[in-house]
Structure 1
Amino acid sequence: MQRRVLIVVFPGFQLLDMAGPADVFSTADLLLREGGYRVEPVTVRPGAVPAGNGVTVMAAGLGDVVGPIDTLLVAGGLSVPAQIREGELVTAVARLAGAARRVASVCNGAFILAEAGLLDHRRATTHWLTADELKSRYEHVDVDADPLYIEDGNVWTSAGVLSGVDLALALVARDHGHALARDVARGLVVYLHRPGGQSQFSTPMRAMTPRSEPLRELQAYIDANPAADLSVPALAARAGMSERHFSRVFTEQTGLSPGRYVERSRADTARRLLEVTGHPLETVARESGLGSAETLYRVFRRHWRISPGDHRRRFQSKEK
């Protein structure tokens, strides 16, 4: 029997918030012989629903939904504030959530869940640009702006736009195992299923682009040479600055201290090595510049709340 997935849309919704998860579920359905998924876009008033980019989607009415619901997923979009003010969508989502096995949101669709009271006393995430607003507006929601997605009980929330794909892959993995999630990811030619604890930002995305060309080149050097001597004295010498001046300027122009940037860059390298190689942990630690398996473990727990071994078991590509 197929699992019924309702994706809630509304005028001005973000198309990728719907299309990304929908393609994950439909691809999983193609790969499964039974127990797959049936995706149904739903909205307040049935009919054509224009996305924010002008593409129109046909959706059934929320009021017409009958029968069991496996997953109720709410898309985001620039028009979410208007939907909250009008209230009709929020009321319908609150009603159907009680009949769903699990509830989820993509991007600022979390605001609709919060307005419906579904995130009260739960940990949740949303797009990093709107996280502070979610936190200030809903005091009973424990907002964490960093992870790609968060599971708290039967409620899942995800970060901006394409993290909805990561969320959907996680749901598929929960239902049918990580092997299927990896197969779906390869079929869609997307990044391998990433753990929810992974940050919304890779190291370059976390940091601002330096105004100074020498610092931009140094930033690229750090990312390309994780096992090199990336101590402050070595980096300062490479930049032709005193250590004190270099640390001040690098932090000012990137938003991260040299030490934090180097650790995060090395952690990103280690994560990729775990996913695409079968190297022992000691080798991964050495090639990523982290030095030892003990340091690798501490860094993974700090950044992604998962051990290196668990990360590899869950997210390693079969194409090594």
Structure 2
Amino acid sequence: MKTVAMVLFPEFLLLDMAGPMEVFSIANRYLAPDQRYELLTIGTEPGLLRASNGVSVQADLHIDQASANYDVLLVPGGPGAYDEKHPRLLRWLPGAVSRARRYGSICTGAFVLGHAGLLDGYRVTTHWHYTERLIKGFPKATVETDQIYVLNRNLITSGGVTAGIDLALAVVAEDHGKKVAQDVAKVLLVVMKRQGGQAQFSPLTAAVAPHETAVTRVQNHVLDHLDKAFSVECMAGLANMSARHFARVFAREVSMTPMEFLQSARIDRARNLLETSDLPLKTVAFKSGFGSVRHMRFLFSEKLGLTPTQYREQFS
């Protein structure tokens, strides 16, 4: 019997808890009694704990009562994970983790682990919207920005919300083999391995800064004329700078090179057209500035792990 413990705190995301726990629960249908998972919730506060969607949950144990050795110890995400520090939880976690065979987080639960000093030296991930914040907050961790989940030694972390199901399926596969995990995935009507990573859900280019600079003027011009050809020299001319100086200033302000910005902007434009229109791929490629469907397909596969056709089928 393996024990899976989930730590709950005010404003946790209910699906971060329920998704993985459902995976382990369904896995028990396919396992012998002595191989099944025992599911346990641990609350940081006495009584009912209110999730971020308003649903209240009664934990099995209060944190002061939880001193066992767990096979899997998980922390969910939610507003309570990245907006609050939970000092009692942060004091408890290092000792609990030292007794656990594996520990991890779903979504923004990574921030709780980070504040407890439990991410340092590990490869980790979180919801795509928060990866930059995690990178800045915990520089001793290596943040994977495009992974659905990351298994690194005894630490397991996942991207946002439903990625907790992917993480739990990976744990079941590791514990009991791929066949059991596949059976669970079929019951849940999910795939064992998704096509592509988190990049397919997130914009590749951030919003242009609202204050006007030479760089933001170039960015806005490029975004308004993505069907045109651009080079670094051409963009530098729009900013009245030399190509070398422009490239340095652009990289400093935007955190990517001018050509990386152009390529990402074209992919984002194509994604929008694929999601919101029935335009032929040739027209999408032209309007996005790729020049050919072949070039667009190559960059989609490289950056998103999906072809344009697969992307349209999945998101439109």
* Counterpart-to-counterpart distance in 2, 1:140 and 1:74: 20
Once the two structures are superposed, residues 58-106 of structure 1 have per-residue CA deviations (whole angstroms, 9 ceiling, x without a partner) of: 111122013321100000001223431x421111122211110000100
Once the two structures are superposed, residues 107-164 of structure 1 have per-residue CA deviations (whole angstroms, 9 ceiling, x without a partner) of: 0100111111111011110011111011011110111111000111100110000000
Kept in 1, the 8 Å contact 2:301–2:307? The answer is no
Which 4+ residue blocks in structure 1 deviate beyond 2 angstroms?
201-218, 238-241, 257-270
Kept in 2, the 8 Å contact 1:44–1:92? The answer is no
How many residues are treated as equivalent by the alignment? 243
Q: 1:150 to 1:7 in 2, by over 3 A?
A: same
Identity %: 33
Q: 1:118 to 1:265 in 2, by over 3 A?
A: closer
Structure 1 segments unaligned to the other structure (5+ residues):
223-234, 251-256, 273-320
* Counterpart-to-counterpart distance in 2, 1:154 and 1:239: 44
Residue 102 of structure 1 corresponds to 102
Residue 306 of structure 2 corresponds to 268
Kept in 2, the 8 Å contact 1:203–1:265? The answer is no
User: Which amino acid counterpart does residue 62 of structure 2 have in structure 1?
Assistant: G
Kept in 2, the 8 Å contact 1:7–1:42? The answer is yes
SS in 2 for 1:76: coil
* Counterpart-to-counterpart distance in 2, 1:36 and 1:102: 16
* Counterpart-to-counterpart distance in 2, 1:4 and 1:89: 19
Residue 305 of structure 1 corresponds to none
Larger radius of gyration: 2
Residue 17 of structure 1 corresponds to 16
TM-score (norm 1): 0.67
SS in 2 for 1:8: strand
The answer to whether the aligner puts 1:157 opposite 2:157 as a matched pair is yes
Q: Structure 1 residue 217: deviation in Å?
A: 4.0
Q: 1:69 to 1:259 in 2, by over 3 A?
A: same
SS in 2 for 1:80: helix
User: Which amino acid counterpart does residue 6 of structure 2 have in structure 1?
Assistant: I
User: Which amino acid counterpart does residue 98 of structure 1 have in structure 2?
Assistant: S
Q: 1:8 to 1:217 in 2, by over 3 A?
A: same
Q: 1:240 to 1:5 in 2, by over 3 A?
A: closer
The answer to whether the aligner puts 1:145 opposite 2:187 as a matched pair is no
Q: 1:51 to 1:249 in 2, by over 3 A?
A: farther
* Counterpart-to-counterpart distance in 2, 1:125 and 1:162: 14
Q: 1:7 to 1:247 in 2, by over 3 A?
A: same
Structure 2 segments unaligned to the other structure (5+ residues):
205-266, 311-316
Residue 76 of structure 2 corresponds to 75
Q: 1:90 to 1:260 in 2, by over 3 A?
A: farther
Within the candidate set 275, 296, 316, 1:258 is matched to 296
* Counterpart-to-counterpart distance in 2, 1:109 and 1:142: 16
Q: Structure 1 residue 205: deviation in Å?
A: 7.6
* Counterpart-to-counterpart distance in 2, 1:131 and 1:211: 21
SS in 2 for 1:157: strand
* Counterpart-to-counterpart distance in 2, 1:204 and 1:136: 19
Q: Structure 1 residue 258: deviation in Å?
A: 2.6
Residue 124 of structure 1 corresponds to 124
Q: 1:88 to 1:177 in 2, by over 3 A?
A: same
The answer to whether the aligner puts 1:247 opposite 2:294 as a matched pair is no
SS in 2 for 1:69: coil
